[in-house]
Structure 1
Amino acid sequence: MAGIQKAKSEETQRRVLEAAVKAVERGGFEALQIRRIAADAGYSVGSVYKHYADQDALVTAVDTVTLARIKTAMAQAVEGVSDPLEQLKALARAYLAFAQEHRNLWQTLFALKMAEGAPTPDIHVQELVDLLGFIAEPLRQLEDGLDAEALAARTRTCFAALHGLVAISLEDRFVGLTTETLDSEMMFLVERLAGR
């Protein structure tokens, strides 16, 4: 009996998360409304809250799905690429392509500011660590003398710089780049960040 209840609970959680991801894909962060997601998933509002304590928890779960998808795109991008600089370029292009093709999910990833003291779920942290690991490995090969702390800082710097370039360009900020120049300038940035 307990096994059946557990399976039903997991199915409910999966369907609610699936409905939330679809809502974000359609309408962005603003579409994450518990009542609407409950209706789309075919459950009561109480069922949603049984699995996700609040809207922040549901957003975090959606963000974890998004990070896993970005990680998959990055893994595919570097498959068969051995040169570390070319790996970084492929990763940058994969990140941009994901942001362009899944803009609502990508923007939602950076929309939530966690309440002070609220713990980030372990799975979310692990997805972030894995994602940054794709950048860290080629950087380590390019700059062999970096210790672990310096490599972690450089990895975050590279991600932040690339993300900033992508964000201001895709959000049509006046300092953003046009689609025609974004790729070449992104490659320029990657080369400079990699010390080339």
Structure 2
Amino acid sequence: MAGVQKARREETRRQILAAAAALMEEGGLRALQIRAVAERAGYSIGSVYKHFADLDALVVAVNSGTLVRIRDAMTAATEGVSAPLERLKALAATYLRFARDNVNLWRGLFDHHLPGGKSIPEEHRQENVVLLSFIGREIHALDPGLDENALAARTRTCFAAVHGVVAISLEDRFVGLADDTLPAEMDFLVERLAGH
């Protein structure tokens, strides 16, 4: 009996989370409201709060799911690619493609900020660490002499540079790159960041 109840709780949580992710995907962070999630999932507002303490917890859970999707896409994109520089290019291209194809989910990762005093859950922090490790592994292969601190700094710099180009371009800023030039310029950026 306890196993059945646990399975039901997990299924309810999964459905609530799926409804929340769908709402964010459709309308961005502003569309993610507890009442709307409850209606979409077919549960009461109380049921949503039973599984997620507040809206921030729900947003973090959706964002964790988005990070998992990015991780899975990056894993698939680098399978069978052996050269570290080509793997870095594949990671950057995958990040760009994910952001383009899932712009509201992607923006949700950066637009949501926990209120003061609340810390990021460890599981969510680890999802971010895993994504950075994809980059760090290739940078280490290209420059094995970097110590741990230098590698961490270079990894974050590379991510920030690629993210910045993607963000500016997706926001249609004046300095953003057009869709037809963006992939080639992304390769150029990665090559320079990697010292090639």
* TM-score between the two structures when normalised by the length of structure 2: 0.96
Deviation digits for residues 21-51 of structure 1 (CA, Å, limit 9, x no counterpart): 1111111111101101101111110111111
Q: CA deviation at 1:149?
A: 1.4
Paired position in structure 1 for 2:166:
166
Q: Provide the residue aligned with 1:86 in structure 2.
A: 86
Task: Note the C-alpha offset of 1:116.
Answer: 2.1
What does 1:127-138 align with in structure 2 at a 5 Å threshold?
Answer: 127-138=127-138
CA–CA distance in 2 between the matches of 1:149 and 1:88?
A: 20
CA distance in 2, matches of 1:79, 1:31: 36
Distance in 1 between the 2:7 and 2:75 partners?
Answer: 31
Give the Cα separation in 2 of the matches to 1:187 and 1:144. Answer: 22
For 2:56, the equivalent position in structure 1 comes to 56
**Aligned residue in 2 for 1:116:** 116
Aligned to 1:30: 30
Aligned residues: 196
- Counterpart CA distance in 2 for 1:116 and 1:35 is 24
* Identity level (%): 61
CA distance in structure 2 between the partners assigned to 1:109 and 1:65 by the alignment = 10
Q: Please give the per-residue CA displacement for 1:90-126, whole angstroms capped at 9, x wherever unaligned.
A: 1000100101111111111111011223121222112
Deviation at 1:184, TM superposition (A): 1.4
TM-score by length of 1: 0.96
Measure the CA separation in 1 of the matches of 2:174 and 2:57: 34
TM-aligned CA deviation for residue 10 of structure 1: 1.4
Give the Cα separation in 2 of the matches to 1:90 and 1:9.
39
Q: CA deviation at 1:9?
A: 1.7
2:69 aligns with 69
Counterpart of 1:148 in structure 2 is 148
Query: Residues of 2 paired with 1:129 and 1:101: CA distance?
Result: 23
For structure 1, which segment, 119-128 or 12-21, has the greater mean C-alpha deviation from structure 2 after superposition?
119-128
Quick one: distance in 1 between partners of 2:160 and 2:121? 22
Runs of 4+ in 1 over 6 A off after TM superposition: none
RMSD value, Cα: 1.0
Amino acid at match of 2:74: M
CA distance in 1, matches of 2:55, 2:28: 14
Unaligned runs of 5+ in 1: none
Structure 1: distance between partners of 2:153 and 2:117 = 23
Measured after TM superposition, the shift of residue 5 of structure 1 is 2.6
